[in-house]
Structure 1
Amino acid sequence: MAEQLLYSTVKLTSSSNGVPSSTGTGFFMSFPFDGGRNVIVLITNKHVLNGATVVTAVCHVAEGDTPSGRFLPCTIANRPEFVVHHPAADVDLCALIFGPILNQAYEAGTSLFFRSIDPSLIPEPQDWEFFDAIEDVTMIGCPRGISDEVNNLPIVRRGITASALSKKYNGKEEFMVDMACFPGSSGSPIFLYDRNGYFDRKQNSYMLGASRLKLVGILYSGPLVTNDGRLVLAQIPRVAVNSMMHLGNALRSTAILQIESEIRRRLVA
């Protein structure tokens, strides 16, 4: 399961008029529709696309049912027909429609290898109150654009919830995590990934040896600390250095369901 998660996440490079401007993280999701059809999207933050004309994800080329070791840069235009924004302006979340990329690759004789996250991994509304006050969390992404470039795989980080998942942090559909979060990690999926057991508050017991996988959030920012320092030269200017705290702000994964509804509305229209 762990290896499958690695192939669900990609580094995104935003470019404007051919010049790379920033990096972020995106992850594949598959929304089931009638007739056995699935709509494949890349979930990321709205701000990852700010000022960009295109976004590029380097994808794995498939060899049968496995990755071949070859990669294909896939470019998505930052245009309304390819980008679906969360309907709330203050929710930093969007989806890149990936189906056209898959079709283009297939028509060129190339199949892409990835693993998409199923919406069933998003907790049900009644599940949130039964998460423990402190949970171990796993985040997969590309902090500061760092990834395993030879194998085209993201970086995995572990931490804990800094605010209780059962509570809406500051009254919003959000929570905080205690882990090192940096630019480039924006859009990273955050999971509860327990392989050897976890505490189930619903049953008030520890599920020894049981596994659990839930998509609980998407990182979108982190608080900064400004440090004032002195640089000793002929004159003494003041410099400000912004440093990241060991904290991150995350949207609850339920926000993805509003994007799914928006996609369904578009397809019906």
Structure 2
Amino acid sequence: MNTLSIAEQMLYSTVKLTALQGGVVASTGTGFFFRFANDGERTIPAIITNNHVVNGSDAIIAICHLSDANKPSGKYITCNIILDKDRVIPHPDPDIDLCAVLIGDLLNQTLAANTPIFFVSLSASLIPTESEWQNFDAIEDVTMIGCPNGISDEINNLPISRKGITASSLTKNYNGKREFMVDMACFPGSSGSPVFVYDRDGYRDRQTNNYMMGVSRLKLVGVLYAGPLITNTGAIVLGQAPKIHVAAMMHLGNVIKSSEITVLEEIIKAKHPN
């Protein structure tokens, strides 16, 4: 198999999560693999998702690709991840629906069992710098990778990609919160999906006002956590987990800015020093 393209790497960075309560399926969501740096040479692997995807659950199931010489083998393994308090690292701000699920022990177990798993880890290098945040345009194309309503390519064990635009400016904090909105169909199950600015064939550099012909750009700009719904009475509510009322999607999504992932990194560094 040839080296994975950037788009293929985006797919293999994301995984469907099935939350369990007492062994019974409670909900589905999306997570993505991320490697946190600590102060030493090693990194700390985790799955990033929303708090509400794992809250109230005692385990999550992730079906992972088996590795064949550092490539996806076409075979899969079901990983049952117990959610104890030392594994789940929530964002310290309770209003930011974000957490990291540490998986270092899971990776060690799969290696010891000679069933290593294949995935692509995202890292802080993909998070925009402060200068890059300020130089995004008011409207940018965005790509989201996830499992809307639990839908995925089950035969090939791959998530669904969706395309849209920013509905609020990346340079601003929407309504004063560290988030932005996207114009994209966002359904339960997409919670925890990574949102990228991915320009495959070129983009305009606003700092120099030059068009970077043939130069690709990939930036992890956020994590979807909710979307506004309009109820049958006309009220607009913020939908996260499924609600027991009749409501229609508004083709919009609320996305936590990826810079909040660095807050999790500082907590993880303190808990897991070199």
Scaled by the length of structure 1, the TM-score of the pair is 0.93
Instruction: Tell me, yes or no, if structure 1 residue 119 matches structure 2 residue 119.
Output: no
> C-alpha displacement at 1:113, in angstroms?
0.4
Higher mean displacement: 68-77 or 39-48: 68-77
Q: Aligned AA for 1:52?
A: S
SS of equivalent to 2:89: strand
> C-alpha displacement at 1:206, in angstroms?
2.1
Q: Map of 1:148-167 to 2, 5 A cutoff?
A: 148-167=153-172
Q: Which residue of 2 aligns with 1:261?
A: 266
Contact map agreement 1:228 1:241 (CA 8 A) in 2: no
Q: Distance in 2 between matches of 1:204 and 1:83?
A: 43
Q: Map of 1:174-253 to 2, 5 A cutoff?
A: 174-228=179-233, 241-253=246-258
Q: Which residue of 1 aligns with 2:241?
A: none
- Out of 104, 107, 119, the residue aligned to residue 102 of structure 1 is 107
Higher mean displacement: 154-163 or 55-64: 55-64
| CA deviation map 1:19-39 (0-9, x unaligned) | 001000000011233443111
SS of equivalent to 2:271: helix
Q: Aligned AA for 1:24?
A: G
Structure 1 portions without partners, runs of 5+: 230-238
Q: Percent identity?
A: 58
Q: Aligned AA for 2:161?
A: V
How well do the aligned residues superpose, as a CA RMSD in angstroms?
Answer: 1.5
Structure 2 portions without partners, runs of 5+: 1-5, 235-243
Q: Map of 1:122-137 to 2, 5 A cutoff?
A: 122-137=127-142
Q: Distance in 1 between matches of 2:245 and 2:119?
A: 42
SS of equivalent to 1:88: coil
Instruction: Tell me, yes or no, if structure 1 residue 141 matches structure 2 residue 146.
Output: yes
Q: Distance in 1 between matches of 2:249 and 2:71?
A: 38
Contact map agreement 2:37 2:269 (CA 8 A) in 1: no
- Out of 13, 16, 36, the residue aligned to residue 31 of structure 1 is 36
| CA deviation map 1:137-164 (0-9, x unaligned) | 0000000000000000000000000000
Scaled by the length of structure 2, the TM-score of the pair is 0.92
Q: Distance in 2 between matches of 1:82 and 1:110?
A: 22
Q: Map of 1:12-51 to 2, 5 A cutoff?
A: 12-51=17-56
Q: Which residue of 2 aligns with 1:234?
A: none
> C-alpha displacement at 1:240, in angstroms?
5.5
Q: Distance in 2 between matches of 1:268 and 1:33?
A: 7
> C-alpha displacement at 1:203, in angstroms?
1.2
SS of equivalent to 1:170: helix
| CA deviation map 1:83-116 (0-9, x unaligned) | 1011111110000001111011111111110000
Instruction: Tell me, yes or no, if structure 1 residue 81 matches structure 2 residue 51.
Output: no
Q: Aligned AA for 1:65?
A: N
Contact map agreement 2:38 2:273 (CA 8 A) in 1: no
User: Which contiguous aligned blocks of 4+ residues in structure 1 show a shift greater than 6 angstroms?
Assistant: none
Say if 1:134 and 1:54 are closer, same or farther in 2 by CA, change over 3 A.
same
> C-alpha displacement at 1:199, in angstroms?
1.8
| CA deviation map 1:57-93 (0-9, x unaligned) | 1100111121111111112222111110111111100
Contact map agreement 1:138 1:192 (CA 8 A) in 2: yes
Which entry has the higher C-alpha Rg, 1 or 2?
1
SS of equivalent to 1:13: strand
Q: Distance in 2 between matches of 1:29 and 1:201?
A: 29
SS of equivalent to 1:5: helix
| CA deviation map 1:211-261 (0-9, x unaligned) | 1000000000000011259xxxxxxxxx95211110000000000000000
The number of residue pairs the alignment matches comes to: 260
Q: Aligned AA for 1:113?
A: F
